[in-house]
Homo-oligomer: A and B are copies of this chain.
């Protein structure tokens, strides 16, 4: 069983990814596909006059400030557009995919951070009305039932708070949590770079392998969104996932290539 996260950045080839995924699924391998929605949410926000606002935490992580309107744009872009496009691509390839989000059946339960601390212009401040959260529990019953019935679950990164509220959660960490909860052999984090780069954006500086005990030392190479991927990798390995591979979603056969060791392999 493998869990794959694919981002929505420019260059990622969903059709090629689904070719590869459908073929491997038909051959009997089990997968859960987790996706993002950040880029489509940005586009939609711009189009409807509610552009994105990104904030940086005191520890240096960048995330989307998600007011209620942004949460609803995220439901549309991630829960609607990206999720159903991927399901459609898989169905067109004969793969019986089921799209859902972490809100559905409380698949991903999280803790809402209604107030977040951010750094702007070098000063810390508090932002309220935030609808993001961190995942605290994965309810595997629904996923297992779908997997056992032969479906391929496609999961949008929303979670359900204790109070039943929808939350925007990070897709890489959602994939890591799911991989850990279902005891996946491999977690593949695919994006529009070949893996972790020693000198971003020089693709020739790809780090091919990281021993699991040394992740901390490599965190400093992670730029932007790659930080959360490395963090997700660390969480997944700590929770028992066999290996994590940071791979390239821009090339045909990206899943097979990554499973064969292309990219940054952490194990």
The chain A residues found within 8 Å of chain B, CB to CB, are: 44, 47-49, 72, 75-81, 83-85, 87-88, 90-94, 96-101, 103-106, 141-142, 145, 149, 151, 158, 160, 163-166
Counting from the closest, the 8 A-B pairs by CB-CB distance are: A80-B80, A92-B164, A91-B164, A76-B76, A76-B80, A79-B80, A75-B84, A47-B48
What are 15 A-B residue pairs whose CB atoms fall within 8 Å in the complex?
A75-B80, A75-B85, A76-B76, A84-B101, A87-B104, A87-B166, A88-B160, A88-B166, A96-B105, A96-B106, A99-B104, A100-B104, A141-B149, A142-B149, A142-B151
Q: Are A98 and B100 in contact (CB under 8 A)?
A: yes
Query: What's the minimum C-beta distance from A22 to chain B, rounded to whole angstroms?
Result: 10
Per DSSP, are chain A's interface residues mostly helix, strand or loop, or mixed?
Answer: helix
A141 and B149 CA atoms in complex are apart in Å by 9
Contacts of A94 in B (CB 8 A): 164
For A99, give its contact among B49, B85, B91, B100 (CB under 8 Å): B100
Q: Are B103 and A166 in contact (CB under 8 A)?
A: no
For A98, give its contact among B75, B90, B142 (CB under 8 Å): B142
A99 and B87 CA atoms in complex are apart in Å by 14
A80 and B44 CA atoms in complex are apart in Å by 13
A165 and B93 CA atoms in complex are apart in Å by 10
For A77, give its contact among B76, B78, B91 (CB under 8 Å): B76
What residue of chain B has the Cβ atom nearest to residue A100's Cβ?
Answer: B100
A105 and B96 CA atoms in complex are apart in Å by 5
Q: Given A104-B100, A149-B141, are A72 and B81 neighbors across the interface (CB < 8 Å)?
A: yes
Q: Are B103 and A88 in contact (CB under 8 A)?
A: yes
For A91, give its contact among B49, B80, B81, B160 (CB under 8 Å): B160
For A48, give its contact among B48, B85, B88, B106 (CB under 8 Å): B48
A49 and B44 CA atoms in complex are apart in Å by 12
Contacts of A104 in B (CB 8 A): 87, 97-100
